Amino acid sequence: MTSADHRAWPALEHETLEWVPASAWGLAAGADGRGLYDAAAPAFIAARIPDLSAPLVAEAGAATSELARFDAELGSRIQGFAPLLLRSEAASSSQIENLTASARAIFSAELGASRSRNAELIAANTRTMTAALDLADRIDADTILRMHAVLMQDQPRHTPGAWRGEPVWIGTRSDSPIGADYVAPHHARIPALIEDLTAFARRPDLPPLVAVAIAHAQFETIHPFSDGNGRTGRALAQAMLRGRGVTRNVAVPVSAGLLADVDGYHQALTSYRAGDPAAIVSAFAHAALRAIANARQLVAEIDATRGRWETQLTVRRSSNAWRLLDVIVRRPVIDAETAASEIGAQRPNIYPPLQALVDAGILKPKAEHRLGPFWRSDEILAALDRFAERAGRRNATGRITRRS
């Protein structure tokens, strides 16, 4: 491969395959549903260098610096804000896939008290993000499989932690890939493509956000799983940011930035497949800056709430109620067992400080059927819901749409 070939980003090629449905009925090209379809055949990218304009590289570099700066600012306050930002990233990533739930439902789901299936899926995505950050020191095929296993552990029909063995596609029909807008590569190609992708992801010679954006686009092009590709791919982006040292303390909710223009995000993926990686790099750079601005506002609102609590709570300073304040900031829905564990108290001794917080108007109690009482901070939950609303707000480019 010549130097020019290295810099010419490959447009997606295709191969023609035959579709043989499991059942003989259904509308397709043939009377029994059989027919031909074009599946993606992505090129390997591990040794390629994207030919990006100097202004775009500078833009990506500036966004990277802002990510690092925001992360550093919260470094000394990691205990309170890291869990909230992690959950915000998981919720935003899930919302891109049309999975939405209130902050209250998500935190309740983590305690086993939610009746919302979406909230349970978002809680699973939070665990995936956590696993991604824990695995950030080594980006390889096993890392991606482990992320997916965490995400899909309650959905065995989607083979958690295993590459798909069937076609997947984006289109209006669920019974056939014939005529679909996009058909992912044949499953036999996945292992080699993932090995190539992770080799690209580990390269130290590319600017961090450039590498993250392109690796994400390539992952979404490969679509290695039967479900959960988008959420796993965005978890991989967080792992790469952590592995490259851009973020050290928090998962900056970049997905919240992408959520502000989902149409643009999907169009950028389409452009990438046409041989132009610039759009996805730009999308990630803009998403990072939007996410930081949104997260700063969230931090400011929570700081203001925490400050008000200092005046609302009037019990003696030796009370465990004061120690619970910082717990509630990061876990605004809590049960007695969790509260006691967080501050190292015996469970029978946790009820008086919880009641003190109720009396001060900081917490509200709620009895959950078969699970006993829960307590919640409506102020923190409202701040998180406002963060989600800002993230999903339509921008001037058009309305938000979502794909599976």
| pLDDT digit string, tens, across residues 123-162 | 777 888 888 888 888 999 999 999 999 888 888 878 899 9
296 three-class SS: helix
Binned at pLDDT 50, 70 and 90, residue 82 comes out as: confident
Please tell me the distance from the alpha carbon of residue 254 to that of residue 67, in angstroms, as a whole number: 9
| pLDDT digit string, tens, across residues 206-221 | 999 999 999 999 999 9
Please tell me the distance from the alpha carbon of residue 289 to that of residue 305, in angstroms, as a whole number: 25
Question: What pLDDT shows up at residue 321?
Answer: 97
DSSP letter assigned to residue 157: G
- Mean pLDDT to the nearest integer, 3-30: 72
At 125, which amino acid appears?
A: N
| pLDDT digit string, tens, across residues 27-43 | 444 555 789 999 999 99
Please tell me the distance from the alpha carbon of residue 259 to that of residue 94, in angstroms, as a whole number: 10
Q: What is the pTM of this model?
A: 0.85
Please tell me the distance from the alpha carbon of residue 42 to that of residue 7, in angstroms, as a whole number: 16
Please tell me the distance from the alpha carbon of residue 109 to that of residue 101, in angstroms, as a whole number: 10
Domains of the chain: residue spans and CATH: 3-296 (1.10.3290.10), 313-385 (1.10.10.10)
Is there a contact between 125 and 231 (Cβ–Cβ < 8 Å)? yes
DSSP letter assigned to residue 8: S
Question: What pLDDT shows up at residue 182?
Answer: 93
pLDDT averaged over the chain? Answer: 87
Please tell me the distance from the alpha carbon of residue 92 to that of residue 212, in angstroms, as a whole number: 18
Binned at pLDDT 50, 70 and 90, residue 404 comes out as: very low
